[in-house]
Structure 1
């Protein structure tokens, strides 16, 4: 499936010392981590839910879903609230939010096979920025995974 990007501005963040990016247009906000309510029977990668100004928001542990080692919680952890329109919202638990950058999406390359694992379900492309690889996340796939997990 070919993914098109509508903007060249991305918010970057780290998960387990790797850099990831999501289009700015898909970000609603970045918040500190409030109290999270566990949901019995939820998939392992769903940390729980929070009440975000009257909206119930599912929180995904991105490191767990990507098959990475979870870093210890610290003061830099944040939740990136992604809004794809309508009720398609999810909160991504990340280690640290870095910055908003302009990326040349035409310079993206396929994600190397060795990255594989569950991450390959959500990121198909990589871009080099400041001599570091940045993985472009396809948010629609993450929202779909949360929806499928909730339906299971």
Structure 2
């Protein structure tokens, strides 16, 4: 089962999936994956992911120094996070929910969480991911009609997951 949300406001999907993770964990549900970490940032370009369920935070952006005006993903750091989640996916009990921050540019180009999402689906886990408008076409090709769009609110996501 693959559900996805698309939010028109930048950062809204990040906050929604992180809030869903918190709700599911508070309910005692088995949850794995990664969500955007809500931590104090020095700049708008910093990107941090919180691994589920343990909550460890990993930085996935490069520090370009003062005066930089671009955001640069550290693809190697992202791949390390993906590898950690992949290991936890191998041991996931039935009924586990997999949450992934987004199907972004890395996933659209065949990297990032793309294989992890496929692995979670193959393991028959419920999967939720956000899909920005700019990668929707690539996501549709990836999911091949298997994904269901869910209204971008926590109650709709919980209902989709049966909680």
TM-score tier after normalising by the smaller chain length: under 0.3
More helix by share: 2
TM-score, length of structure 2 as denominator length:
0.24
More strand by share: 1
Higher relative contact order (CA 8 A, sep 6+): 2
